[in-house]
Amino acid sequence: MNSIFHEFINLNGDEIMINITFPDGNIKGFENNPTGLDVAKSISEGLARDCVAMELNDKIVDLKTQITWDSKIRLITTRDAEGLEIMRHSAAHVMADAVLRLYQDAQLTIGPVVEDGFYYDIDMQPLSEDDFPKIEAEIQKLIKAKIPFERTEVSKSDAMKFYKNEPYKLELISELQDETISLYKHGDFTDLCRGPHVPHTGLIKAFKLTKVSGAYWRADQKNAQLQRIYGTAFFNKKELKAYLYFIEEAKKRNHRKIGQALDLFSFYDEAPGMPFFHAKGISIWNCLLDYWRLEHRAAGYVETKTPIMLQRSLWEKSGHWENYRENMYTSTIDDDEYAIKPMNCPGGMLLFGRRPHSYRELPVRAAEIGLVHRHELSGVLAGLFRVRAFHQDDAHIFMTPEQIKDEILGVLQLTERIYSTFGLGFHLELSTRPDKSIGTDAQWETTTQGLQSALDSYGRDYKINEGDGAFYGPKIDVHIKDALGRTWQCGTIQLDMSLPERFNLAYIDSNNEKQRPLMIHRVVYGSIERFFGILVEHFAGKFPLWMAPVQIALLAINDDLVPYAVQVQQTFEDAGLRTEMDSRTESLNKKIRDAQIGNIPLILTIGNKEKSSGNLSVRTLDGKVRFGISHEEFLARVLEHIKNRKPDLNIFE
């Protein structure tokens, strides 16, 4: 194994002066091909201990890389985002090494870095989290040993020989175009890898295995099912502790558990990936849609509805059959092939094209709450976050070229109003033309510039994602931030010139000439099911009063007071409030506890004192009780709180 590794040497033996340019513009000379580590040590030993890698002439490489010509470098330390990613990449190798030491028959595939850590897909016996302690103990041994990472480059044929007994690695190597393959070694472990890596395993200061799940090789159900082991790592234990606390908070907010506990929704084997909403879940759902409709009417939208199933010819015209066929459900009816819609757009094109339009009518803002179906692999289904059947709050805005900027700004402002109602922050990303697309270069240039101009006018910072647009146009993605600081991509604004052309849409301009409209596709909630799940976790099941499926619980302290409690309940029901009467023969403390577990915002205790005084005792979810509140004051406060859609639960502030 070690024979494929070699030392880097200065072949001519002469002293060479290498000029290193630092990010601040300073230049320093070095003799005899220094490494990045040599450069760091020349500044300070403390910096050298803190260095992870270096950026050499705009390419991130190992700290041990020799610098053989005048170069500009940036030292990457444990404080840099790139440093954390590199260390986690190294941690994935160490984890794989530990697994192989414990499970000799395991076969490695790939082990990438992901947003909060890393994972490695391994063909091996099924694991559970109960196996983590022994794997972590083995990892700890490797870390304490401070084993150096060594890079070598070999020919493709030598790499194939080296991995002759590892089919997954052979498959990966065979697909590489390069004839030179890089390998990384620490101790007795060698892995196929581009790098870079930290200088030694001891730089992995704090780590934790987090979960294990099944994953198909190459995401293909026909292939072997692998064990995907997730982990995370940090440069200090304090950061790891904070992250693990965050994970525990996220578990407490898991929308699947809360949804079951609060009787909101469920899933069944008879319809995998297709949620069933219960009465309380539908109550929240209707609140979301009622608010959505209110905001859209105020913004000048009309609401439409299109069929769920349409003929294949329509999907061929739209381009979906060619570009999205593998994700569509199809059926044959009367010898004609149909598809259940994965998107609402083509139906919207038919509606606009049903009659002539004048420029005076534009823009036309047509919205639709459309049920769509997309085939997702069973392994990626995840509660409400990844489903096969979901509703999109689509809208298609048809407009003239002069209206592009104002319409996009209008969508951004509408989106901001809606998200702020839920206490959600957001950031924006612009995604440009992907490799697989329809439309001309000129169309893509016009649409991309239109989105970018609107974003510049909107005044918020935004990120550009090259090549991540939809196949029919560039898009703005809106990423919301929840109470835990997690981001979720929900809203999307896509500018499209291709579909209006494919469907031959037109309007008559001021010169009485036929013109092609431009079109915006946009969603705010995105998938309403997914947005619902995000809100469950954002609020931890404690929904704002205006959304809560049960807003008021009435607890009569004995059977004799139930008739009076029913009268009070009816008063609130008549005012449009959602109430629940608990007339069980249970103790008052148990009734209160059950109402609190159910996250009912307002709990009213009805006793003899309340009946005789005509006042109320009001308990809120923070455990505070307020006595002697008149019915009129209580009702006024509640209705005002709901009217303003306040994101908190406290009606007394």
Span 101-156, pLDDT tens digits: 999 999 999 999 998 899 999 999 999 999 999 999 999 999 999 999 999 999 99
| C-alpha of 556 from chain center | 45
Domain range annotation of the chain: 2-77, 85-247, 265-306+343-538, 552-643
Q: Can you tell me whether residue 457 is helix, strand or coil?
A: helix
Instruction: With cut-offs at 50, 70 and 90, classify the pLDDT of residue 14.
Output: low
pTM of the model as a whole: 0.78
Distance CA 96, CA 98 (A): 5
Is residue 475 part of the annotated active site? The answer reads yes
User: Among the options 38, 93, 392, 591, which is catalytic?
Assistant: 392
Is residue 521 part of the annotated active site? The answer reads yes
Q: Can you tell me whether residue 237 is helix, strand or coil?
A: helix
472 pLDDT more than 80 = no
295 contacts 422 by C-beta, under 8 angstroms:
no
User: Among the options 151, 396, 502, 530, which is catalytic?
Assistant: 396
CA distances from 502 to 209, 307, 315, 350 (A): 51, 20, 11, 11
User: Among the options 255, 391, 521, 641, which is catalytic?
Assistant: 521
User: Among the options 64, 93, 253, 374, which is catalytic?
Assistant: 374
Q: Which CATH number fits domain 2-77: 3.50.4.10, 3.30.70.870, 3.10.20.30, 3.40.50.300?
A: 3.10.20.30
User: Among the options 475, 530, 538, 619, which is catalytic?
Assistant: 475
Distance CA 583, CA 327 (A): 50
16 pLDDT more than 80 = no
Cβ neighbours for 13, distance < 8 A, ≥ 6 positions apart? none
Is residue 391 part of the annotated active site? The answer reads no
322 pLDDT more than 80 = yes
pLDDT confidence of residue 15 = 59
Is residue 140 part of the annotated active site? The answer reads no
247 contacts 210 by C-beta, under 8 angstroms:
yes
Is residue 392 part of the annotated active site? The answer reads yes
| C-alpha of 157 from chain center | 40
| Of 126, 102, 99, 94, residue with least CA distance to 193 | 94
Name beta bridge partners: 333.
336
Distance CA 408, CA 602 (A): 41
Q: 552-643: what CATH class?
A: alpha beta
Q: Which CATH number fits domain 265-306+343-538: 3.40.50.2300, 3.30.930.10, 1.10.10.10, 3.40.120.10?
A: 3.30.930.10
Is residue 396 part of the annotated active site? The answer reads yes
Distance CA 522, CA 519 (A): 10
Q: Provide the residue type at 582 as one letter.
A: D
- 378-387 pLDDT, tens digit per residue, is 878 899 999 9
Distance CA 212, CA 131 (A): 10
- 349-365 pLDDT, tens digit per residue, is 999 999 999 999 999 99
Q: What is the mean pLDDT of residues 316-324?
A: 88
42 contacts 35 by C-beta, under 8 angstroms:
no
- 247-301 pLDDT, tens digit per residue, is 899 889 999 999 999 999 999 999 999 999 999 999 999 999 999 999 999 999 9
pLDDT confidence of residue 613 = 93
612 contacts 601 by C-beta, under 8 angstroms:
no
Q: What is the mean pLDDT of residues 328-351?
A: 94
Q: What is the CATH number of domain 85-247?
A: 3.30.980.10
Q: What is the DSSP letter of 66?
A: B
Percent of the chain with pLDDT over 90: 83
CA within 13 Å, CB half, 22? 13
The two beta strands, 625-630 and 71-77, are unpaired
Q: What is the mean pLDDT of residues 183-198?
A: 96
